[in-house]
Amino acid sequence: MKSDLFSAEYLAQPAAAPGMTLQNAKSIKYAVNGEMYARQGSMIAFRGSLQFERKGQGIGGMLKRAVTGEGLPLMSVKGQGEAWFAQDAANCFIVDIEQGDALTINGRNVLCFDPTLSYEIKTVKGAGMTGGGLFNSLFTGYGKLGVICEGNPIVIPVTGQAPVYVDTDAIVGWSAQLSTSLHRSQSVGSMIRGGSGEAVQLMLQGEGFVIVRPSEATAQKATAH
Residue-wise pLDDT for 148-172, tens only, equals 999 999 999 999 999 999 998 899 9
**CB-based contacts of 195, cutoff 8 Å, min separation 6:** 186
**Distance from the first to the final alpha carbon of the chain:** 42
Quote the Cα angle for 77-80-81, to 5°.
85
How far apart are alpha carbons 88 and 65 in whole angstroms?
22
**Residue 189 above 60 pLDDT?**
no
Q: Could you tell me which of 117, 172, 147, 143 has the C-alpha nearest to residue 28?
A: 147
- The distance of Cα 85 from the centroid of its chain, to the nearest Å, equals 14
pTM of this prediction exceeds 0.75:
yes
pLDDT in tens, 12-59: 988 889 999 999 999 999 999 999 999 999 999 999 999 999 886 554
Indicate the length of the chain as a whole number.
225
Q: For all residues of the chain together, what is the average pLDDT?
A: 83
Q: How many Å apart are CA 174 and CA 204, to the nearest integer?
A: 9
